[in-house]
Amino acid sequence: MPGFEMFGALERAEVQDVLDSGVLMRYGFDGMRNGHWKARELEQALASRMNTRFAQTVSSGTAALTVALASAGVGAGDEVIIPTFTFVASFEAVLALGAIPVLTDIDDTLCLDPAAVEKAITDRTKAVMPVHMCGSMADLKPLSAICKKHDLLLIEDACQAIGGSYEGKPLGSYGDVGCFSFDYVKTITCGEGGGLITDNETFYRNADHYSDHGHDHVGKDRGAESHPFLGYNFRISELNAAVGVAQIKRLDDFLRIQENHYHILEENLAGLKGITMRKVPETGVQNYSFMNFFLPSEALARKAQKALVAEGIDGCFYWYDNNWHYYRKWEHLTGLKSLGPVSRDVELRLSGLKNRTFPKSDHWMGRNLSCLVKLGWSREEAAQRGEKMKEVLSKILSSA
Ligand SMILES: *Cc1c(COP(=O)(O)O)cnc(C)c1O
């Protein structure tokens, strides 16, 4: 990732098609649109690639999470289990619905720890939302078993792992609903956009209506459509969808490139004593958008990240100190810094977060480095980068 490194003739042709008609709206305008239905086309391509019955495109990955939760019936007061290591969108989507995000430990997969999930369940838990961070996945089989046992929804955030799989199933298709982001830095991008996939017809119909103000999309006259329930505007535009249509056709090419580059980097680090790779569940196949590994200690991880940057190796993240992805820096959440008042229920039930720590998550995240795997590198560039990483890391490890 990111897919924008590969923009070319295909993307331009798809966008031109939309501009030629001037119809940027995904619904209606049948007479003017020269037969282009880019959002619909992207939905068909997504459902087909992910082997699900249905797909709904929306305006962002955050919108996909929100629409997925709403469509599956999550609402005010319901608890949704999310990991301590994720993107802020996880709790934003939950809070937007008046529901309660329940932060829960990760393990050496860097994703939700099934044992911690089981402990976090209460009689108000409605859904478990694992996040397949940095190209690899949560251990979905035990998570799914827990969800079945307690009658909970399993909603996969596959925004960072599109194209990966688990037990041979595309990530996102294992749980009740799966979510993707096509934002400006994801493996396939359309600027801003997202999508959700499901085999559940009711959830799909709900998503279709909810993401368009509750419109039921029955008949040809938009003005005459009825509104079976309240919705919102989470629509994608035809312009964005057009870029997505081109990019999803190239997904498997992108995955091959990422995998090749990943293996080049991995081979270089393979012999280094003190480096251990992040755990990928047994039946899992990553999408190879990041290479994640552990150093022996927090101090060494910090030192290694600094040394890599100093040697010109960009894109290696130490998420432990990062403002966006780890609970330690989410003061706006833990302090409930909301522009307007929040409900008394949300206030009460999140009040404990302020002083809460997650030592088990810290144990893994404090020692983790996460290095971006770019599509645009040549083979030589990937090889040079691998050699440089090996040199820098072995120096750090031997100084310990
Ligand atoms: C990018 C991302 C999102 C949100 O997607 P946007 O399209 O940027 O709203 C959600 N979850 C994860 C894990 C992400 O990486």
Ligand 1 atom closest to the Cα of residue 60 is 7
Say what the alpha-carbon torsion angle 269, 270, 276, 277 is, to the nearest 10 degrees: 90
Protein residue with its CA nearest to atom 5 in ligand 1:
61
Substitution candidate for ligand 1 out of 181, 188, 236 with most atoms within 8 A of CB: 181
**Ligand 1 within 6 A of 159 CB?**
yes
Give the per-residue pLDDT at 220.
83
Q: Is 169 a catalytic residue?
A: no
Ligand 1 atom closest to the Cα of residue 65 is 10
Position with higher pLDDT, 6 vs 354: 354
Report whether pLDDT(1) > 80: no
- The rounded Å distance from CA 231 to ligand 1 centre is 21
Give the per-residue pLDDT at 323.
86
Q: Is the peptide bond before 101 cis (omega within 30 degrees of 0)?
A: no
Residue ranges of the chain that CATH labels 3.40.640.10: 3-251
Note the CATH number of domain 3-251: 3.40.640.10
Residue-by-residue DSSP string for 265-294: HHHHHTT-TT-EEPP--TTEE---SEEEEE
Distance in angstroms (rounded) separating the CA atoms of residues 173 and 166: 9
Distance in angstroms (rounded) separating the CA atoms of residues 252 and 339: 42
The reported pTM is: 0.97
Give the pLDDT confidence of 130-175 residue by residue, as tens digits.
999 999 999 999 999 999 999 999 999 999 999 999 999 999 999 9
- C-beta of residue 395 within 8 angstroms of C-beta of residue 303: no
Residue ranges of the chain that CATH labels 3.90.1150.10: 252-398
Query: Given pLDDT bands bounded at 50, 70 and 90, which one contains residue 400?
Result: confident
Local structure of 352: helix, strand or coil? helix
Per DSSP bridges, beta strands 79-83 and 100-104 are parallel
DSSP 112: B
Question: Over the chain, what is the mean pLDDT?
Answer: 96
Query: In the CATH hierarchy, which fold is given to the domain comprising 252-398?
Result: Aspartate Aminotransferase, domain 1 (3.90.1150)
Substitution candidate for ligand 1 out of 94, 160, 319 with most atoms within 8 A of CB: 160
Give the per-residue pLDDT at 211.
98
